[in-house]
Structure 1
């Protein structure tokens, strides 16, 4: 027997068959960040707890949240030399160029302080090698100042400009001499910079060349290196 129409069913005193209501599917959407989650993420970042970093991110913690100093979790991890946490944040998509209130990014700070593991992570994820710090300098300038041989090598290979002049009027080559002690590691740094095209004729804000500085500071090995490279 065919199914009765609603009117026929009503005439016969029977109810028409019921059409089931469509199921309501709950879609809660992505997790939402909260101050508590962000505090947990920052705490994990600075204590180098990579597992807790990943857990906080999965729960929805904002990866670009800012603390009172304008630091992101990645900048906070970098300044704590928390390499595992920094790697977890970078893998989760943290911006390696985001700067804090002091104009430090993870890339700039890692380069300046010789945090080579973190530096490599930033370079592998879009670091802006031409970015500058609050002194108007590239990452290479403080790396040279600190005599960080391997960091200087990494930054040169990454394409950081070697002849950039910062706000005080220094290049990486000038800072390696003026703030260095003429020891073997500074000789290495100076040699790397010269090999990469550093111009020894660029003068500081007072009109002095790097060779004049090296002579005045008694850095004999660097003087010999500069003279051999026509540093006049």
Structure 2
């Protein structure tokens, strides 16, 4: 019964964490200044340009700062240099993604750790779905990222505009396999509220039962 109701939602939103738009090849080719240096990881150019007064928080046509560009390119040293020059680590680009959420979707733990160290708030409301980095990571089954975000104090029970929490997404949009099982385990052990329902008043446990996710059902029933 629940599965019949859920399938249209699943089909409509299963790839939502991938709604991020990294710079296209044409955008990269057109980049100049700090955006170009960030993409290529050119620390010397970043230091030279910022020392000359370049705006470290300048934005491209999609609202990406050089920090976003460095994150999409996984240029950790460039991100460090930009932070030292005063970049806003909590800036959101036009789709409302920050560096931490970019790292979460990319399953890039080193970038995630650096962004958190540089002051990126793990609890920001991000994405067109008013979610969080933790919700995105839970949806994708990125176990190590989920663990890091929990340790950093990310909100466990944030509800996005689909009325889903990280726990709900791990069940509804997960595949029930080992990664999503581990995500559910981490969230529940950290204190995530198992009673928060979706917009149809269905609990994560009921979803897990409807999808025949036996291990997750047992986990949700046994863990208090």
Pick the TM interval, shorter chain: 0.7 to 0.9
Choose which of 86, 89, 96 in structure 2 pairs with 1:93: 86
SS in 1 for 2:131: coil
Cα drift, residue 125 of structure 1: 2.4
Task: Write the distance in 1 (CA, Å) between the matches of 2:112 and 2:162.
Answer: 25
Which structure has the greater CA radius of gyration?
Answer: 1
Task: Write the distance in 2 (CA, Å) between the matches of 1:126 and 1:82.
Answer: 17
Structure 1 length normalisation: TM-score?
Answer: 0.78
Cα-to-partner distance string for 1:68-120 (whole Å, 9 max, x where unaligned): 11111001111222222222212322111011111112123223432222221
Do residues 129 (structure 1) and 119 (structure 2) align? no
Task: Write the distance in 1 (CA, Å) between the matches of 2:108 and 2:64.
Answer: 17
Match in the other structure for 1:41: 34
Gaps of at least 5 residues in structure 1 are 1-37
Do residues 199 (structure 1) and 193 (structure 2) align? yes
Cα drift, residue 167 of structure 1: 0.4
SS in 2 for 1:75: helix
Structure with greater helix percent: 2
Match in the other structure for 1:54: 47
Do residues 104 (structure 1) and 88 (structure 2) align? no
Match in the other structure for 2:10: none
Cα-to-partner distance string for 1:102-156 (whole Å, 9 max, x where unaligned): 1112123223432222221221122223211121111100110011111101100
Query: How do residues 57-68 of structure 1 correspond to structure 2 at under 5 angstroms?
Result: 57-68=50-61
Gaps of at least 5 residues in structure 2 are 1-30
Q: Which has the higher contact order (CA 8 A, sep 6+)?
A: 2
Task: Write the distance in 1 (CA, Å) between the matches of 2:66 and 2:74.
Answer: 12
Choose which of 180, 200, 223 in structure 1 pairs with 2:217: 223
Alignment size in residue pairs: 193
Is the CA contact (8 Å cut-off) linking 1:146 and 1:176 kept in structure 2?
yes
Is the CA contact (8 Å cut-off) linking 1:107 and 1:122 kept in structure 2?
yes
Match in the other structure for 2:8: none
RMSD: 1.6
Choose which of 200, 206, 222 in structure 2 pairs with 1:212: 206
Is the CA contact (8 Å cut-off) linking 1:87 and 1:118 kept in structure 2?
no
Match in the other structure for 1:31: none
Task: Write the distance in 1 (CA, Å) between the matches of 2:114 and 2:83.
Answer: 7
